[in-house]
């Protein structure tokens, strides 16, 4: 089966399992989504959703966040990974939003990526989840599954993103990345397991990959 047919069939399975995948990070507007995504690096969404109610009660917008001392932000987000760096970046990012964009989150991926602490993946998440603009954020989980499913042989997330964008129609990207994340979280165990029994890997993974995985079990 060629890659495009594979992607079509995987898309049908994912649409059946997750017809309308919800956005996992709690937020109320593009700004609070951007902050939440910045907090989510190397941290679970659950943990981020635990700290953001108090953070956004103290600072719901760039003006109030930029007015908080970094130590106060740090105190509110201390339980997430890399908290000191994230506190500094969130304050600096908020100050720059005021300086460059009138206190609004720009609907432009290059302008987003120019903000402190905002990489390509974070900017892509904001483009699709805040502004409903087509983007395909690829994290390490999507990168790994795309390789297992034989949709990409990308050595890095940038190549995987380019491959997935070619295979899936643009109007599916925004839900497709969330569907793959949910599938990976809910159905893919971290340890070696029997790929041949899986509803996707069972037919999509290469025989070589299935054999390699079963040797590791």
Three-class SS state of 179:
helix
Contact present, 56 and 76 (Cβ < 8 Å): no
Q: By CB under 6 A, tell whether 78 contacts ligand SF4.
A: no
Question: Taking CA 177 as the corner, what is the angle to CA 155 and CA 94, rounded to the nearest 5 degrees?
Answer: 95
Residue 217 DSSP class: -
Q: How far, in Å, CA of 67 to CA of 91, rounded?
A: 8
Locate the DSSP E strands across 16-161.
none
CA distance 195 to 4: 21
**Minimum distance between the CB of residue 205 and ligand SF4, rounded to whole angstroms?**
6
180 binds ligand SF4 (CB under 6 A): no
User: Does 147 engage in binding with ligand SF4 (CB under 6 A)?
Assistant: no
Is-catalytic flag, 8?
no
Q: Which of 6, 103, 198, 209 binds ligand SF4 (CB under 6 A)?
A: 198
- Which of 148, 175, 176, 177 forms a contact with ligand SF4 (CB under 6 A)? 148
Concerning whether 6 is annotated as a catalytic residue, the answer is no
In eight-state DSSP terms, residue 21 is: P
Least distance (Å) from ligand SF4 to the CB of residue 144?
8
- Residue of 8, 26, 45, 139 marked catalytic: 139
The residues annotated as belonging to the active site are 121, 139
Can you give the binding site for ligand SF4, defined by CB under 6 A?
148, 187-188, 193, 195, 198, 200-201
């Amino acid at each position: 089966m060629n890659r495009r047919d594979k992607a079509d069939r995987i898309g049908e399975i994912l649409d059946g399992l997750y017809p309308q995948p919800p956005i996992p990070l709690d937020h109320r507007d593009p700004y609070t989504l951007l902050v939440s995504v910045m907090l989510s690096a190397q941290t679970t969404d659950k943990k981020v959703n635990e700290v953001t109610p108090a953070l956004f009660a103290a600072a719901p917008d760039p003006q109030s966040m930029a007015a908080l001392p970094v130590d106060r932000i740090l105190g509110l987000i201390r339980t997430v990974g890399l908290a000191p760096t994230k506190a500094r970046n969130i304050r600096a990012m908020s100050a720059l939003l005021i300086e460059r964009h009138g206190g609004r989150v720009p609907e432009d991926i290059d302008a987003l990526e120019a903000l402190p602490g905002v990489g390509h993946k974070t900017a892509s998440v904001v483009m699709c989840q805040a502004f409903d603009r087509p983007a395909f954020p690829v994290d390490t989980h999507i990168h790994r599954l795309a390789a297992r499913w034989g949709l990409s042989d990308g050595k890095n997330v940038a190549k995987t993103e380019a491959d997935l964008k070619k295979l899936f129609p643009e109007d599916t990207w925004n839900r497709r990345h969330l569907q793959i994340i949910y599938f990976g979280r809910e159905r893919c165990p971290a340890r070696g397991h029997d790929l041949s029994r899986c509803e996707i890997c069972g037919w999509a993974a290469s025989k070589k990959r299935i054999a390699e995985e079963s040797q590791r079990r």
